[in-house]
Structure 1
C-alpha cells in the first residue's frame, strides 16, 4: 500500500478542527474528512470531486453533535485507477479543506492521514472520537439532536478490581460492534461481557480495566466513558427519512443528486454510497435545514426531479423509541450470550475469573 501525506504538521484547536486525509490503496484512493457539519456540505464535497474528474466508488458519512466524518473512495475518471499524482492530490486536499472551513472560519485547518486499512466503520468511530464529538460543550447553539439518549452507567466493582459498564438503549444492528470498538479505542480491555437483546431494547454489561490492569479511578474519567459510549451509539442512529437511490452509475451522479437535495432544503445526516458493478446503490438519511422532519410534499418533489423509480423512500429498519430511564441497573449473572464467545474469539475481550 502506498500512503501519501498531503499536508503540514497538524494543529489541535478543537474549534477549528477539520481534516482531510488521503490514502492510496490498490483499487482506489481513500479520502478522510472531518469537520463542522452544515446543510449542503456533502453536496459541496461531491461537487469538488466531480469538478476534479474524480469518480466516487463508495463513501460513508456520519454526523453527530454538529460534527461530520466521512470516508470516500475515489478513482480517476480518465483511467479508472487510484489517484497517485502528488499535484492532483494536493489540489484535492486544498479545495476540500476550503469547503470544510466554509465562510465561518478563515483560519488554518488540520490534516490527517490513515496509515493502514482500518475497517471503514471502525475508522469513522476513531475519526469522530478524535474530533471530540462526544463533548457537548462544543455543540453549536441550537444543534441538539432529537435522537433518543441511551442509558449508560459506570460503577466500580472493588472486590474484583473491575469497572462495570452497563448500557441500555433501543436495539439495532451493529450496536455491540459500536460499544466494543469504542471501549477498545479508549484503551480499555473487556474481560467479561453479557449481552441481551430483548426487542425493542438491548442490554449490555462489560467488566473492564485499563490496558495497565487498573480500573477507572476518577469521576471525570467515568463521565468521559459515559459520554463516549453515548456518542458511539448515536453516531449510527440514523435520523431523518431514508431515501434509496438505485440507478446506473456515472461520474458526477452524487454531485447532481446532493445538489438537488440542497436546492430543496434537505440536509444529509448520514449516507452510505456503494457501487455494485455498473450500478450505484446509495442510501441517504435526510432532514430539513433546521434538523426537522421533511414534509412529504418536499420528498415527492425531489423524487420527481431525480426519478420516481430511481429514488425511493425506505422504511426505518428499527425502533427509535427512547428507553425508560429508571436509574441504575445491572445485568448481574443472568446469562452470558453467544456474543461474549464471539468477542473472545476475536480477541476483543479476555476471560478472567
Structure 2
C-alpha cells in the first residue's frame, strides 16, 4: 500500500490577517457637511463588494460617491451616502444597523432573518412559497397570473415584477389562504405550476423560452431578477417602443478600455443617475464572473459617472471585441431593467385573496400595461405599486385615470403619480422608503422587533 503525504497547513493561518487587522466599519457624519461617509475595511473575499452595496441599497440610501480598492487581499471602501431626501443618515438605529450588517461576521450569520409576523423579505421565504416566472411579456399577462393564483386560493403576499425587451421576470411569494402557511402539498404545487406554465406558454414557440418554477433560494430578490433576465438573454436585440427616450447628454454611454500599466480592463459608465444604479452594475459584473479591483463612483446633478477596473475571475482581461460587446450589452440591459416610464399607481388596502387579480383586471380592461410592479404585505395591509403605460405606447389618457379612481378608489387608497423617466421615480414623488419593498420592509420589521 502506497502512502501519500501532503504538507500540513495550520487551519488558523487563514484567519491570521483578520486577527492582525480586524474588520472595521465606521459611519461618520462629521467629515462631510452634506452626506454621511461609510468606511468598510476587511479581508477581501469573492462577492464582498456586491454584499456591501446590496446592504446600502436595501436601506434605500443613495450613493453619491464611492471609492473602491481591493488589491493585496484587503478590501477598503468609502461610500458617501444620503437618505432619499438627500439628507445625512442620522437615525441611531439605522447607523447601528449599518455598522453591524456590514461586518463580515454579521453578513454570514444573517441578523435580519428572524422576525415575527409575515416573513416576506430578501433573505427568507419564511411561511411562503417562492415562485419564479420568466417568459414573453404581453398586455394582461400579470392579470392572468394573479387570477390563476386567486382561483387556486393562494394569497400573494409579496412580489417583484420587471419587464424588459418584451420579456417579463417575476418573483412571487404566496401561501395557502386557508392555512396561511407555505404550500407543501404536491398536488397543489403541480396544479399551480401547470396553470402558470399554460399562461406563459401563449405565443411562445420555444418550450425553453418560458418557465414557472419554485425556489427556496435565499438569493436577493433584485439580484435574482437580474440573473433570470440575464439567463433569458434579454440583452440581445432591442425593443424601440419600450426604450427610454434619453436626451443625447444623458443617454447611457459605456466604454471598455485596457489599462496597460496595471493589467485591468477599465469599464466606464456615464448615464442618468438613479437609485440602485451601482448595485445593478456591480451585480451584473459579478454574475458575469468579473472581479472589481478598483472603482470610482460620482454623481454630478442628474448624471452619474462610474469607472470599474476589472478582470475576469480567471485573471484575464477583456481582449476580444466580442467579450467587450457582450459586457456593454449586459450593462445596458441592467441599467434599463429598473427604468420605468409613464405613471405609477400606489395602492393601499386590506390584504385579501383576489385583491391583485381585481386590480390588474381593471388595469387590463382600461387598456393599460404594467411595466414594473412591487407588492408587499405588512400585517393586514397590502401596499402595491404599479408602473403603467398605455398598451399602444401612448401617454395614459386623463379620462382613464379618472375611471381608475372611481373603480379602484372605492375599495382602497389610490394615489396616481407621475414617474420621471429614468430618474429617481419613487423618490421624486415623495414615497417614503419603498425601494420596491423588500429591503425597506425587511429593515422596518427588524427595527420594530428591536424596539419591542
User: Taking structure 1 as the reference length, what is the TM-score of the superposition?
Assistant: 0.79
Show the counterpart of 1:332: none
Aligned-residue CA RMSD in angstroms? Answer: 1.9
How many angstroms apart in 1 are the aligned matches of 2:214 and 2:200? 16
Larger Rg: 2
Which secondary structure does the structure 1 equivalent of 2:207 belong to? coil
Is there any run of 5+ residues in structure 2 with no aligned partner, and where? 1-123, 425-452
Which secondary structure does the structure 2 equivalent of 1:262 belong to? helix
Cα distance, 1:101 vs. partner? 1.5
Pick from 154, 157, 179: which aligns with 1:57?
Answer: 157
How many angstroms apart in 1 are the aligned matches of 2:375 and 2:322? 38
Show the counterpart of 1:336: none
Deviations along 1:249-304, one digit per CA (max 9) or x if unpaired, are 11100000000000000000000000111111100000011223211111111121
Q: Does 1:88 align with 2:188?
A: yes
Q: 1:144 to 1:172 in 2, by over 3 A?
A: closer
CA contact (8 A) 2:130 2:216 kept: no
Q: Does 1:267 align with 2:369?
A: yes
Show the counterpart of 2:404: 302
Deviations along 1:35-61, one digit per CA (max 9) or x if unpaired, are 001110100000000000000000010
Show the counterpart of 1:33: 133
Cα distance, 1:147 vs. partner? 4.7
User: Taking structure 2 as the reference length, what is the TM-score of the superposition?
Assistant: 0.62
Cα distance, 1:315 vs. partner? 3.8
How many angstroms apart in 2 are the aligned matches of 1:29 and 1:120? 14
Show the counterpart of 1:11: none
Cα distance, 1:156 vs. partner? 1.2
Show the counterpart of 1:121: 222
**Number of residues of Structure 1 aligned to a counterpart in Structure 2:** 294
Q: Does 1:245 align with 2:347?
A: yes
1:1-353 equivalences under 5 Å are 25-102=125-202, 104-105=203-204, 108-109=207-208, 111=211, 114=215, 116-136=217-237, 139=238, 143-148=241-246, 149-307=251-409, 310-316=413-419, 320=423
Q: 1:115 to 1:245 in 2, by over 3 A?
A: closer
Show the counterpart of 1:324: none
Show the counterpart of 2:23: none
CA contact (8 A) 1:240 1:287 kept: yes
Which secondary structure does the structure 2 equivalent of 1:261 belong to? helix
CA contact (8 A) 2:274 2:423 kept: no
CA contact (8 A) 1:175 1:233 kept: yes
CA contact (8 A) 2:129 2:214 kept: no
CA contact (8 A) 1:200 1:319 kept: no
Which secondary structure does the structure 2 equivalent of 1:47 belong to? helix
Is there any run of 5+ residues in structure 1 with no aligned partner, and where? 1-23, 322-353
Show the counterpart of 1:335: none
Larger relative contact order (Cα-Cα within 8 Å, sequence gap ≥ 6): 1
CA contact (8 A) 2:130 2:215 kept: no
CA contact (8 A) 2:342 2:419 kept: no
CA contact (8 A) 1:65 1:143 kept: no
